[in-house]
Every structure is written in structure tokens, then in C-alpha cells.
Homo-oligomer: A and B are copies of this chain.
Amino acid sequence: MTKPAVIPHPQDNEVAERIMANALPLFADHGYSGVSMRAIAAAAGLTIGTLYHYFSNKEALYLGVLQASYASCAEQWQTIFDAPTPPLERLRDYLLQYCKFAAENKEFVGLVKREQLEGNPQRMELMANVLLGEQFEKTWQLLEEINPDIDARMAANSLIGMVVHHFEIAALRQRFPQHRDEYDDPARVSEHIYQILVHGLLGKPAE
């Protein structure tokens, strides 16, 4: 019985899950090559040899972290997009939930952004098919429902870019003068993005 080459053990092993859960913030902060197997083992309270009992190598462990993170938030978007409310209300709800998620899961957002920068073809395929593709499609379909005359795919990119950027630069923003804590508040940020998307900068400031 040989270990699988890429995918970690499929059964829900609580030790493997603990390893991946503790490795997630390490990979998000320092990148794939910036984290050693020793550091991962220490974060999980184990030694290095034990890691290789659950994962065939470092790459498989990393892919396991990616897939586990994807699965944990995949169904979260579904209920929001499928709600039977008017499209503008769905947009507002989606933005709030998306901002909340980005604020609470900075590690995951950072991991995804890192993967986009790296551009590894195999892992890009995983992201495009498993998670991001679905969110992107639901997003532009909602925007097209709001206004069929715009390029909804471009608008979806703009929406996603605004949300993730606000929370990606949180650490940097605090070094700028005149910083206010409310710039990190998901409710405040999502309402701001909603106003820009719907009315632009010249529209009425509050509805």
C-alpha cells in the first residue's frame, strides 16, 4: 500500500486536519518556501517525522491546506446568491458577507492572493475550477441582472478587487497618517463599496 502522490489521505483524520489548520497562517504569512516542515510540525505540536505519516511530502500538505480552505467557505456564498430578494438587496448582502469573510479570514485571502502571484499552472487550475470560478460567475451574473448594459465580468473583477484590497492592506494602512479604525470595519467598507458600485462618486452620498 503506497501513499498517494499528491492528494493527502482522504478520510477525515483529525490529526491531519490539525496539522493543516495550524499550517494555514504560516503559509499565508511567509509563502510556500518560507515555511519549513519543522515549523509546521512545531505549530501542530508534533515532530517532523509524523508529518510524513499523513502527507506524502510538503507539496501534498500544502495542497491539502488549499483544498480544506476552499471547502470551508465554498457553500457560504451559495445561500446569499440564491436568496429570493431584489438584486440590489442581494448585492448589498453579498458585499457585507464577503467583507466579513475577508476580515475574518485574512489568512485564506492572503493564501489565494499568493497563489495568483505565483502562477503555478496546476494550482491555478484548482483555484479556477473548484472555488473562485463559481464565485466569479455568480458575481457577474448578479451584476448583469442589475444592469444588462454593462460588461458584467469586468465589473465583477472590480468588485472583488475592491473588497480584497481593503483588507489586504490593513497592516499597511495603519502606517498612513489620519488612519481611522472604521476603515477596517466590514459593515463600513461594504456600504462604501455598495455606494460606489451603485451611484459612483458623484451620486447621492446616502440612500
Contacts and interface: CB of A to CB of B under 8 A. Distances in A.
Interface of A: 28-34, 110, 113-114, 116-119, 124-125, 127-128, 132-133, 136, 143, 146-147, 149-151, 153-155, 157-158, 160-166, 168-169, 171-173, 175-176, 178, 183, 188-189, 192-193, 196-203, 205
A188 to B, nearest CB: 8
A165 B188 CA distance: 21
Contacts of A146: 201-202
- Among the interface residues A110, A146, A202, which one has the most CB atoms of the partner chain B within 10 A? A202
Nearest to A111: B117
A93 to B, nearest CB: 16
A146 to B, nearest CB: 6
A169 B157 contact: yes
The oligomer's copy count stands at: 2
Given A34-B33, A155-B196, A113 B168 contact: yes
Contacts of A203: 199-200, 203
A117 to B, nearest CB: 5
A129 to B, nearest CB: 8
Nearest to A117: B110
Contacts of A183: 153-154, 157
A58 B83 CA distance: 53
B150 A205 contact: yes
Nearest to A128: B175
A128 B176 contact: yes
A169 B155 CA distance: 14
